Amino acid sequence: MEEESLESISYEQLSSPIYIGWQLTNRCNLECIHCLWESGPNATYPDELSVDEVLKFGKELVDHQVLYVTLSGGEPLLHPAFWKLADLLSSGGVDVKIETNGQLISKSVAKRIADLNPRSVQISIDGASQETYSRMRPNASLSKALDALRYLNEYGVRTEVLYVPSKFSLSEVEKLIDMVAGLGVRAFYSGKVYYMGRAVKYWNLLGLNEKEYEYLKNIIDEKAKQYEGKMRLYFHPRDIVEELQIKFKHPTGNPIITANGKVKLINSVPYVVADIRKHSFEEMWERYKKGWKHPKVAEYVKEVSLNPRAISKAELQIELPDL
């Protein structure tokens, strides 16, 4: 994905993070069957950051010259601090990417997003028909997601689509790529589904085999040639455990901030290394760097390497001791 070039820089070279992934809220207007965090309308953490706390940390990101922040959730547009935070970051020189399901983006909202001058807006779309799309995202509207792309592109916002594959949507992926290309989307991403969160319950629908992934990769590779220079298409070949093994050997400078202010090394690790309510920005960064070298992290990487389904515990928040 676009973050890959940023993530190639070793964290030990840095005096502060270059990239932050910030899950603003666990609340969502949908309950998607693949969701890592089991987000939903009633899934708000009881201790989520307040508006003031969000804006305070946002200012710290600006002050420490963090280059790039991804705002996700849940559904980030539902957080009451979203607009003020996005404006604070963007006007402070931080590139902002918004990851959304697109259901809340009307034409007026698209204009408001365009005024923020974001780096990009990523909308998740997992089927080319309403029937298939709503199997992955119950009660969601495919036409709303497509309209969101259309409105954003009309206002000059760079749009990207993330496709989470399933056994029931593979037959539509080629049509979906053509649909979003016709709307002016600049990038289309996909990869292997993570065995985490709500996906565990629906693994019979989401757990593709290698032959199915090869089919998907071949379509994306062919479409990449067709749309070269117009839309970037990319299939991420590594699964969540393989990605963790690489990150463990070569850590990068991109902490994950959860909706309740906990700081994690990466989405696939359950350990919390800091808390923005308790630790200064400098302390958070030092604890992040130490966290990658903690023996419990090494033990966890070994555990999931031997038993990949143990990765399902990654959604937990476990304090890492003795940092």
Give the residue-averaged pLDDT of 113-129: 98
Is 90 within the bounds of a domain? yes
Is 321 within the bounds of a domain? no
Q: Tell whether the model's pLDDT for residue 141 goes beyond 70.
A: yes
Altogether, the residues listed in the chain come to a count of: 323
Question: What band does 9 get if pLDDT is binned at 50, 70 and 90?
Answer: low
Question: What band does 8 get if pLDDT is binned at 50, 70 and 90?
Answer: low
Is 267 within the bounds of a domain? no
- Decide: helix, strand or coil at residue 193: coil
Domain that holds residue 33: 16-237
Question: What band does 14 get if pLDDT is binned at 50, 70 and 90?
Answer: confident
pLDDT of residue 124: 98
Mention every residue, 6+ apart, whose C-beta is less than 8 A from residue 281.
16, 60, 63, 64
pLDDT of residue 56: 99
Give the residue-averaged pLDDT of 119-146: 98
Q: Tell whether the model's pLDDT for residue 76 goes beyond 50.
A: yes
* Mean confidence (pLDDT) of the chain: 96
pLDDT of residue 6: 52
Backbone angles phi, psi at 9, to 5 degrees: -90, 130
Per-residue pLDDT tens over the stretch 297-315: 999 999 999 999 999 999 9
- Decide: helix, strand or coil at residue 94: coil
Is 300 within the bounds of a domain? no
The answer to whether 74 touches 259, Cβ cutoff 8 Å, is yes
Tokens coding 63? 């002050």
Give the residue-averaged pLDDT of 41-69: 98
pLDDT of residue 113: 99
DSSP notation for 37-102 = T--BTT---TTPPPHHHHHHHHHHHHHTT--EEEEESS-GGGSTTHHHHHHHHHHTT-EEEEEE-S
Number of domains in the chain: 1
Q: Tell whether the model's pLDDT for residue 1 goes beyond 70.
A: no
Give the residue-averaged pLDDT of 22-48: 98
DSSP notation for 213-238 = HHHHHHHHHHHHHHTTTT-EEEEE--
Question: What band does 11 get if pLDDT is binned at 50, 70 and 90?
Answer: confident
Q: Which CATH number is 153's domain given?
A: 3.20.20.70
- Bridge partner residues of 40 (DSSP): 27
**What percentage of the chain carries pLDDT values higher than 90?**
94
Tokens coding 95? 């590139």
pLDDT of residue 15: 87
Is 124 within the bounds of a domain? yes
Is 32 within the bounds of a domain? yes
Question: What band does 74 get if pLDDT is binned at 50, 70 and 90?
Answer: very high
Q: Tell whether the model's pLDDT for residue 3 goes beyond 70.
A: no
pLDDT of residue 53: 99
Per-residue pLDDT tens over the stretch 238-250: 999 999 999 999 9
pLDDT of residue 13: 78
pLDDT of residue 267: 96
Backbone angles phi, psi at 108, to 5 degrees: -70, -35
Is 117 within the bounds of a domain? yes
Give the residue-averaged pLDDT of 184-204: 98
Per-residue pLDDT tens over the stretch 251-274: 988 999 999 999 999 999 999 999
Is 145 within the bounds of a domain? yes
